[in-house]
Amino acid sequence: MTTPPTHAEYLAALPEPQRASLEALRAEILAAVPAAEEGWSYGAPAFLLRGKPIAGFAACARHLSYYPMSGRVVEAHAAELRGCSTSRGTLRFTPEVPLPPGLVRSLLAARIAETGARGRR
């Protein structure tokens, strides 16, 4: 399978309501981090800031995924993520129960801080 060249093309190929839910997530990410560039990481649509991945998303057969690009970010937000289906680097959600915008912003802020700290080492 060839990776679509743009996020818009990836989203356009999805059925509703997955498309609408991920379009809303994409808009939230871009509103929170206007300087983010759209790209790809691990075969999924991703957002990069200063060349470093800060978030990603994907549609799966039975759920949608948000990738905070860091297991440490997931661990640091364990209390906020209680009740959410997670693994080390993935948050799973559905179009019917999307991720709250405040949580997305908090995850992005933590990842940006993490990548900034790594860049100074």
Domain limits of the chain? 7-120
What is the mean predicted confidence (pLDDT) over 85-111? 95
Average pLDDT value for the chain: 92
pLDDT band (50, 70, 90) for residue 1:
low
Q: Which fold has domain 7-120?
A: Aspartate Aminotransferase, domain 1 (3.90.1150)
Q: How confident is the model at residue 118 (pLDDT cuts 50, 70, 90)?
A: very low
Pairwise CA distance, residues 22 & 31, whole Å = 14
Confidence tier at 101 by pLDDT (50, 70, 90)? very high
In angstroms and rounded to an integer, the radius of gyration of the C-alpha atoms of the chain is 14
Using a cut of 0.95, tell me whether the model's pTM lies above it. Answer: no
